[in-house]
Structure 1
């Protein structure tokens, strides 16, 4: 594992920030059940946003992710079937609106300057790695520095702004991803009932007081709580058991049809060699942990290759906060 710098980059008066992909290690990935989660950002995948001062306010479409020119009607339809209708422009516009409204409501002066926003990302789509929120998080960091209001919009407020931007677009989400991407590193969260949202039929059953769902969600929350202790004590065997337990609980609640055969197969391939495994989010990719070391990793890589899956070693990213923000965080924790 390694760390990567998350400091802003200045290019000819431009400001550039990165936000990294997020893995849900333990707990419920949707974090909307009044529970606990452990998640972390990792440096293999990221979204970057660049802000350049300009006379007019411009949101630049990405040449690949915001494609509007096609070879044919067939090309357009295939693109929509595979990628959907949405790129990153809508995300940049949404965070600009949320940022503006927050500053206006809190009497923070951001008048007199315009900019051009552009973005890039290598976070795979539909893999549960929080690619959308990474774009929004990086854009918010650019706005904070451009208007020099980082000290006025506290770090504990920023995940809520990122979430609000996605809610503007009808994206159903919780705070887990945004907190991990704003703070960076390994994050343990105890979720507040005030942030709950409707998320699925399981969510509705939870609201209706379904005893099985209620008890299972409590078990999932306890998995994250025990996982925090296992990490602090470096109990790798316990951590592996908790990861497997986390997946099994989720599978029992949501059912195989909801999880999908391919997603389940990824977990089963990892378990075949004795590795622990669970989804990184709601599906599309899994995180595998090999407590037995390099030899087990090699077995996992071989089995994944046979199954047609790609293995990417995780590079954990350290905190994204600057020294002053870290000091504030330490005070909050204490």
Structure 2
């Protein structure tokens, strides 16, 4: 065999700013790709041995390979390579560490095989890896944000379509803080299952609550474009309050949001693992909140938005 290739792809974390978790229910979300953390999947070609997935992310990588294998061009020779993942994304805290690994795996295998990867299709394939190959409950927003990058306004009406994913000007974002518990969280599917089952059963209050959360993203876009931080903060707080009621969140789960509120800031969950995104007023306020979360035993960063995918 001739030259053996080594390839790698990296994918950022993500933050849901408004409207999540309505993406699982055909709703609308504003969010951004988080440049401060990423997952990297490395592919090392071998002379033989087929495909091997190694390391702590082997199950995710294996599911991504099974999905990719179904898309191999006719007559494509059986590939030989080893897949491994490494990540700086805090896991199971609501920053989409697992989906970042899946997207990176699909990208690097697509590069190796020579599969043209349309962004919309890539995001859909990444979702299918988790929902169809692994049987997990998941919505589309994470993969869309991680594939497209930037600050996105996304409507997930059925059928989903790329035309409903709109890049917004990143400069519209106000000062934000992202904070998370460095201890182990829980799988996001666990948090969603009970609510999803109620939705599927047609529960009126669950359906009304999800519609209300989705509507916040529509109002949030206007708030961002008009520079109305007061309104944006109100919407973020309402987003969390709806979620607290729908998911029956206890005082421990709500504590990081209540901390922000005591400090005069708006806050909500980034995803479903407990990490929070906080809207702050100015530099002094930001510093005070960093100190408050540090005293709370949490980590925090001043988030940077990952670049939007070049069109």
Partner residue of 2:156?
191
1:164 aligns to what SS in structure 2?
helix
Partner residue of 2:215?
222
Corresponding residue to 2:104 among 114, 138, 146: 138
The answer to whether 1:282 aligns with 2:248 is: no
Partner residue of 1:242?
235
Q: Which protein is richer in strand relative to its size?
A: 2
In structure 2, how many angstroms separate the alpha carbons of the residues matched to 1:97 and 1:238?
45
The answer to whether 1:251 aligns with 2:244 is: yes
Partner residue of 2:203?
210
Structure 1 gap ranges (5+): 1-11, 67-87, 327-334
Instruction: Using the TM superposition, give the Cα deviation of residue 306 of structure 1 relative to its aligned residue in structure 2, in angstroms.
Output: 2.4
Instruction: Using the TM superposition, give the Cα deviation of residue 156 of structure 1 relative to its aligned residue in structure 2, in angstroms.
Output: 1.1
In structure 1, how many angstroms separate the alpha carbons of the residues matched to 2:233 and 2:275?
17
Conservation of the 8 A alpha-carbon contact between 2:54 and 2:83: no
Conservation of the 8 A alpha-carbon contact between 2:95 and 2:273: no
Conservation of the 8 A alpha-carbon contact between 1:263 and 1:285: no
1:149 aligns to what SS in structure 2?
coil
> What does the per-residue CA deviation read over 1:222-276, in whole Å, with 9 as the maximum and x for residues that have no partner?
101111222223322221111111001111222124xxx3331100111111111
TM-score (norm 1): 0.77
Conservation of the 8 A alpha-carbon contact between 2:15 and 2:270: yes
In structure 1, how many angstroms separate the alpha carbons of the residues matched to 2:256 and 2:103?
29
In structure 2, how many angstroms separate the alpha carbons of the residues matched to 1:119 and 1:27?
30
Instruction: Using the TM superposition, give the Cα deviation of residue 120 of structure 1 relative to its aligned residue in structure 2, in angstroms.
Output: 0.5
Partner residue of 2:134?
169
Corresponding residue to 2:82 among 103, 116, 119: 116
**C-alpha RMSD of matched pairs (Å):** 2.2
Conservation of the 8 A alpha-carbon contact between 1:30 and 1:282: no
> What does the per-residue CA deviation read over 1:135-191, in whole Å, with 9 as the maximum and x for residues that have no partner?
1100111112112222xx322111111111112122211111111111111122111
In structure 2, how many angstroms separate the alpha carbons of the residues matched to 1:110 and 1:315?
40
Partner residue of 1:42?
34
TM-score (norm 2): 0.82
Structure 2 gap ranges (5+): 161-188
1:24 aligns to what SS in structure 2?
strand
Partner residue of 1:125?
91
Instruction: Using the TM superposition, give the Cα deviation of residue 127 of structure 1 relative to its aligned residue in structure 2, in angstroms.
Output: 0.1
Instruction: Using the TM superposition, give the Cα deviation of residue 303 of structure 1 relative to its aligned residue in structure 2, in angstroms.
Output: 1.7
Moved more, 108-117 or 23-32: 108-117
Aligned length: 277
Corresponding residue to 2:303 among 311, 314, 317: 314
Instruction: Using the TM superposition, give the Cα deviation of residue 206 of structure 1 relative to its aligned residue in structure 2, in angstroms.
Output: 2.3
Conservation of the 8 A alpha-carbon contact between 1:263 and 1:283: no
Conservation of the 8 A alpha-carbon contact between 2:17 and 2:32: yes
Moved more, 295-304 or 200-209: 200-209
